Chains A and B, each alone.
Chain A
């Protein structure tokens, strides 16, 4: 009895502070944001209840629509790019090569750097170095190309983590399965297509969902590279929420945007997991 009480006390001692912190800094703002989304609060001063007004307006606001278009374009292209590149990298780094650990370390560095730092470095590259080489204007200043620059930066940084996940995935495939397959006549592309890829499908799922979620929430890179420009062509949803919510006097309206965005991300992640899980082979 006594030991059970003691365990209970330990349990409470540890969990209550965390629960309070989580509630204070996560749940409470969430609830407050949800409440504000039904007001015309500008971030300061007085406000009135507007009911579903903000939500209705969201669907007609062209700037919001624009940000959704940009964000999804970026997320889909980046997710595909990141997965393809990191899978190739993982296959290379998993092969019998020299200095394997060294290369693995080097390729992981981008993940350690903060997104803002990476963003500013690339901003420098895009603004000064690349134009000097190509004698063209900076990509960041071109409304048709700025989003590509952001895809590149996002991918460059995310590939590190995805590669790491793929490498551990590749290591779950038993060596003798590869050997059996090579005796059966599967080498090169056939080996990858029929054996390796299906067997690392769980890792493809994880990577796709993580990449998609991270890319949908892209913020730091945009802050560092374009601040949403040129001509709002790189305004991601998160950036718009932050920018117009905090500085643009649309706190209530952008809170509604955030609520919808939250639901969208949850729905997408769940659907992805469902869909990819079905494709995942029962191992």
Chain B
């Protein structure tokens, strides 16, 4: 196993499109790191550069202590799990998993041991002599995993490995991959566009947008301290609510309502010269309360809004409403009596208001 180092990596495709811009990341040995971002943001491109399937236009890539920019894929000692599995259709499951070792002239009994061990872990023992076309989607996915495991590589690369599975299987495989990581003690780079998957799997997450890294952080920090508007909006479901507000030196004012914020936050804003300026405020739906109910936190001044959509999410209820020219939502208890068209009095958790610069979209205080 080994760590990786990506230093000022750029990717410019032959058609001139710059897909990855100045990517910088140190990945520790045995780390489970996730690249997440909307589709087209350059996650796969970055992963494929690590795999050696795409040339690196600029920058340095190290696996362990070795610079591998010009090392062929097969000599990088990595294994990759592809989105569409890329199994060899003409080989049995056994041969699919044994292929890499066979090419390396590994002794037969060693190959057999490795393949059977992987098959046992992944519960593929009964299908070893079938072909990929005779397997279900979930089984194919596991074969793709098995093919990587058998090689015992320094680094595992996975490009949206679960995106072709149905929701239930996806959750199940997610848990298995997490277990697998503990068991193998492997360095894994995992690409996904699904923020839930990212948040549940990773120890560290790289959020990307338009080829640029937005934030590299733990799931908790991404959630509680997003660097900018994009990360704040991308991480968390349902999305964080945003609205424009004026900072009057102590409060955020929007639609005539004064939202008091903690003094230390206000002083940071003041220090940075935001007094009298417009900022963007962000509040997660779970921090928006029905002010008529008891809350365990300190609430801001209430404001009234008309409920436009009512969604029952099982244990909770999601209410949508318009406020300060923005569409917002609140997660309230299942006991909510609100119905579409009702006017409800809402309030925010004072401590959970995030403030962003309107121009740069960067976070000012959390």
Which residues of A line the B interface, CB within 8 A? 174, 176-177, 179-187, 190, 194-195, 198-199, 201, 281-283
Residue interface bits B32-54, CB-to-A below 8 A is 1, else 0: 00000000000000000001110
Q: Which of B99-107, B174-182, B267-275, B328-336 contacts A (4 or more CB under 8 A)?
A: B99-107
Residue of B nearest to A173 (CB): B89
Q: Are B74 and A185 in contact (CB under 8 A)?
A: yes
* Contact between chains at A174 and B86 (CB < 8 Å): yes
Binds A, one of B77-85, B241-249, B340-348: B77-85
CB A279 to nearest CB in B, in angstroms, measures 11
User: Which B residues lie within 8 Å of A199 (CB)?
Assistant: 89-90
Tell me the dominant secondary structure on chain A's binding face: helix
Once the chains bind, are B90 and A185 in contact (CB under 8 Å)? no
Shortest distance from the beta carbon of A145 to any chain B beta carbon, whole Å:
41
With contacts A184-B74, A185-B74, A187-B74 taken as known, whether A179 is within 8 angstroms of B104 at the C-beta atoms is no
List of B residues within 8 angstroms of A181 by Cβ: 88, 99
Select which of B53, B86, B104, B133 is within 8 A of A283 by beta carbon. Answer: B133
Q: Which residues of B contact A185 (CB under 8 A)?
A: 74, 100, 103-104
Question: Quick check: B80 and A183 within 8 Å, CB to CB?
Answer: yes
Bound together, the chains give a CA A260 to CA B33 distance in angstroms of: 71
Give the CA-CA distance A177 to B72 in the complex, in Å: 17
CB-based contact A177/B74 at 8 Å: no
Q: Assess A184 versus B82: contact at CB under 8 Å? Given A281-B89, A283-B89, A283-B90.
A: no
* CB atoms of A281 and B72 under 8 A apart: no
Q: Pick 14 A–B contacts, CB within 8 A, sort by A.
A: A176-B82, A179-B51, A179-B73, A180-B80, A180-B86, A183-B80, A184-B100, A186-B103, A187-B74, A194-B99, A198-B90, A199-B89, A199-B90, A201-B90
Find the A residue at minimum CB distance from B90.
A281
Hey, which chain B residues are within 8 Å of A184, CB to CB? 74, 99-100, 103, 147, 151
A residues near B52, Cβ cutoff 8 Å: 183
B258 at interface by CB-CB < 8 Å:
no
B131 at interface by CB-CB < 8 Å: yes
Which of B53, B79, B83, B88 has most A Cβ within 10 Å?
B88
Note all chain B residues with C-beta closer than 8 A to A174. 84, 86
Given the known interface contacts A177-B88, A195-B88, A199-B90, the answer about A187 and B72 at a Cβ–Cβ threshold of 8 Å is yes
Range class of the B interface residue count: 20 to 34
Nearest CB in chain A: distance from B98 CB, A: 10
- A19 to B151 CA separation, bound complex (whole angstroms): 62
Which B residue sits closest to A280, measured CB to CB?
Answer: B90
Across the interface, do B103 and A179 meet the contact criterion of CB distance under 8 Å?
Answer: no
In whole angstroms, how far apart are the Cα atoms of A282 and B92 in the complex?
10
A17 and B196 CA atoms in complex are apart in Å by 66
Contact yes or no, A179 B86, CB < 8 A: yes
Q: Which of chain B's residues have a CB closer than 8 A to the CB of A183? A: 51-53, 73-74, 78-80, 100
Q: Is the CB of B131 within 8 A of A176?
A: no
- How far apart are B208's CB and chain A's nearest CB, in angstroms? 21
Residue of B nearest to A175 (CB): B86
Q: How far is the CB of B53 from chain A (nearest CB, A)?
A: 5
CB-contacts of B303-331 with A (<8 A): none
**Bound form: Cα–Cα A144–B103 in Å:** 45
Pairwise interchain contact B103-A190, C-beta atoms closer than 8 A = yes
Residue of A nearest to B52 (CB): A183
Chain A nearest CB from B239 CB (Å) reads 33
Task: Kindly report which residue of chain B lies nearest to residue A201, judged by CB atoms.
Answer: B90
CB-nearest residue of chain A to B75: A185
CB pair B103 A176 closer than 8 Å? no
Complex CA–CA separation, A230 to B88 (angstroms): 52
Residues of chain B within 8 A of A283, CB atoms compared: 89-90, 133
Question: In the complex, what residues of A have CB within 8 A of residue B53's CB?
Answer: 179, 182-183
Chain B residues within 8 Å of A180, by CB:
80, 82, 86-88, 147
